């Protein structure tokens, strides 16, 4: 390697760079009620555990290939969430719910190859009652993942970190900035 001749350092890298960037997302609609959330509650599709699921996101480029989750963007069509804080928990496999919406997160989910979480503050307000936030992983600067076997999917679950009195049947969308191997 010679810096004098302008040879890039990458020429000495024995591994080709084959990844690409993408933004992938998934959505869930919370129940048609206005039951207030406490800190640490799950935001899910139903108050009934058997009707809840982690939201699948096609994060990898191909089945069974790895990648990196860099940042997460969350938006919801409910001004009640303005300045609220959420954790977006990510799992390799779909977690099993022991409880549904408004239950304590800590006791309500199976481990399901937990990958990590993003910390999001919904600190941006837009017209039409939309609030949005962008966050980074709780630990480190990115989350390396491998998808659920035979798929491109990882799964996310939302946890409140702020008490909120929500609007009925509002939709949350989480978009992940991904670097795919």
- Please enumerate in sequence order all residues whose Cβ is within 8 A of that of 45, keeping only pairs 6 or more positions apart, or say none: 28, 29, 30, 31, 51, 52, 53, 100, 101
Q: How high is the pLDDT of residue 3?
A: 37
State the 10-residue block means of pLDDT for the chain, 181 residues long.
Answer: 42 55 96 96 94 95 95 97 98 92 84 93 95 97 96 97 96 96 85
CA 88 – CA 160 distance, rounded (Å): 9
Give the pLDDT confidence of 87-132 residue by residue, as tens digits: 999 999 999 988 999 999 877 777 889 999 999 999 999 988 999 9
Q: How high is the pLDDT of residue 109?
A: 77
Start-end of H helices in the chain: 105-108
Q: How high is the pLDDT of residue 18?
A: 54
């Amino acid at each position: 390697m010679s810096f004098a001749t302008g040879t890039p350092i990458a020429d000495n890298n024995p591994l080709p760079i084959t990844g690409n960037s993408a933004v992938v997302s998934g959505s869930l609609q919370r129940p048609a009620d206005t039951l207030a959330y406490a800190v640490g509650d799950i935001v899910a599709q139903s108050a009934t555990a058997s009707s809840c699921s982690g939201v699948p996101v096609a994060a990898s480029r191909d089945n069974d290939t790895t990648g990196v989750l860099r940042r997460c963007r969350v938006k919801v069509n409910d001004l009640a969430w303005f300045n609220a804080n959420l954790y977006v928990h990510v799992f390799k496999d779909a977690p099993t719910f022991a409880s549904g919406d408004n239950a304590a997160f800590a006791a309500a989910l199976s481990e399901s190859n937990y990958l990590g979480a993003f910390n999001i503050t919904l600190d941006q307000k837009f017209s039409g009652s939309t609030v949005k936030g962008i966050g980074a992983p709780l630990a480190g600067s990115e989350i390396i993942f491998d998808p659920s076997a035979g798929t491109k999917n990882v799964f996310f679950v939302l946890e409140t970190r702020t008490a909120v009195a929500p609007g009925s049947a509002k939709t949350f969308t989480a978009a992940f900035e991904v670097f795919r191997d």
